[in-house]
Amino acid sequence: MQRILRKLALLTIIFLITFTLVASNGIAHHQTVIQTAQFNNCLNNAQCLVTPEPTTSPTPIAPFTPNPELNEQQRFLSAIAIKLPAIPQPGTYEYILLRKYGAVFVNQEPEIKLPEKVILANEQETQEFQSTLTMIKVDGTNDCYLQQAAGLALNKAKKIQKIPLKSGYGSGDCTRTFTTNLRFWQKYANDRTLEKVRQGKETAILGIVAPPGTSQHLWGLAIDLRVSSQKQRQALNQNGWFQTVESDIPHWTYLGLTESQLPLFGFQKKLVREITYWVTPI
């Protein structure tokens, strides 16, 4: 009788183990099917590729650091690939813009938002992007707004040194609308200029004014300042603000990196008329 009972117990255990294995296999298979279906759905739906469902926290565990064994250009491109999903191809208008204004794409702070392309097509697209930003007011101004991390860093610099806006207090020095960007462009240039820029035949204008939809000011990460002393420059540099657009003297860009990190991210130091610019290596 005892032997029969032991056999029965053994059979029950074997049955339970087998059942558990089959069941868990079934669940795993079921999950794979759902994931494949979701993936196929994504392929057929462009929007899904643009905004994939977050499966993990968007905050990176450790900030990205370029591989020092790569050359300058590769280091820069590897860094911007994190925030810019489609890197423009050399020889295109977008590549010219990336070279001139793309410095901000190296920004490592997870709360800093950037558009997924270097040109915002119109006011609607600009507003859609800007509506996703968390903005704060720059201290001592009426209506000068920047993305929060950039604004906080600038306010820190302003506590060390007095740094006025180029115009005194105006919002035009800070985050701009598409229309303001367009108005500034039309002040200095026209459609013929734009055509020449597109063809790579005209670049000087890019240091004066940005073509429609391409200004760093649209992204809430640039500001025009009246800087005259080395101490002001130091205060800005110590807080992640640098001059990245050659010849645009009042224009400052928030990179959120320290000066010593810039060469590792591929930036080239360029001294023009006693002003240090950190330009992209592309």
Q: By the criterion CB under 5 A, which residues form the site for Zn ion?
A: 224, 251
Q: Which residue number places its CB atom closest to Zn ion?
A: 251
Give the nearer residue to Zn ion in terms of CB position, either 233 or 251: 251
Give the nearer residue to Zn ion in terms of CB position, either 112 or 209: 209
CB of 232 to Zn ion, least distance (A): 16
CB of 251 to Zn ion, least distance (A): 3
CB of 99 to Zn ion, least distance (A): 17
CB of 245 to Zn ion, least distance (A): 7
Give the nearer residue to Zn ion in terms of CB position, either 109 or 224: 224
Give the nearer residue to Zn ion in terms of CB position, either 75 or 251: 251
Give the nearer residue to Zn ion in terms of CB position, either 100 or 251: 251
CB of 30 to Zn ion, least distance (A): 55
Give the nearer residue to Zn ion in terms of CB position, either 210 or 257: 210
Give the nearer residue to Zn ion in terms of CB position, either 252 or 267: 252
Three-state secondary structure string covering the chain = CHHHHHHHHHHHHHHHHHHHHHHHHHHHHHHHHHHHHHHHHHHCCHHHHHCCCCCCCCCCCCCCCCCCCCCHHHHHHHHHCCCCCCCCCCCCHHHHHHHHHHHHHHCCCCCCCCCCCCCCCCHHHHHHHHCCCCEEECCCCCCCEEEHHHHHHHHHHHHHCCCCECCCCCHHHCCCCHHHHHHHHHHHCCHHHHHHHHCCCCCHHHHCCCCCCCCHHHHCCEEEECCCCHHHHHHHHHCCEECCCCCCCCEEEECCCCHHHCCCCCCEEEEECCEEEEECCC
CB of 104 to Zn ion, least distance (A): 12
CB of 272 to Zn ion, least distance (A): 16
Label residues 190-219 b or e (16+ Cβ within 10 Å = b). Answer: eeebbeebeeeebeebbbebbbbbbbbbbb
